[in-house]
């Protein structure tokens, strides 16, 4: 089991959820209107007059077999629109009931 965390420009809106759904991943948690600034390049997303855009973020617990397809779909989105900003991370997790 893996955890995928994605932080992205609000302009992507439902497109990120569609990547998860296209790979058979139903469950996720989404946060909206998140402020942030990338560590390498890109403009800040602060919801202010100077930096009006905001980020959203998604966290999803994913079976190992779905990770590669989801990450490939997210990479394609980022390559298609590099100025928007999208970062995706994968963590190993353990599930306890």
pLDDT of residue 25: 98
Architecture per CATH, domain 2-92, reads as: 2-Layer Sandwich (3.30)
**For each successive 10 residues of the chain (97 residues), what is the average pLDDT?**
96 94 97 86 83 94 97 97 92 88
Q: Where are the domains of the chain?
A: 2-92
pLDDT of residue 13: 83
pLDDT of residue 64: 97
pLDDT of residue 47: 85
pLDDT of residue 97: 76
What is the rounded CA–CA span in Å between residue 32 and residue 9?
A: 10
30 neighbors 60 (Cβ within 8 angstroms): no
């Amino acid at each position: 089991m893996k955890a995928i965390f994605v932080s992205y420009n609000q302009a992507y809106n439902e497109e990120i959820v569609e990547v998860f759904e296209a790979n058979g991943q139903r469950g996720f948690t989404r946060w909206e209107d998140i402020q942030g600034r990338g560590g390498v390049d890109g403009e800040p997303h602060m919801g202010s007059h100077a930096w009006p855009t905001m980020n959203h973020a998604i966290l999803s617990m994913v079976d190992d077999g779905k990770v590669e397809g989801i990450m490939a779909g997210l990479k394609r989105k980022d390559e298609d629109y590099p100025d928007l900003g999208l970062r995706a991370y994968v963590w190993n997790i353990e599930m306890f009931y």
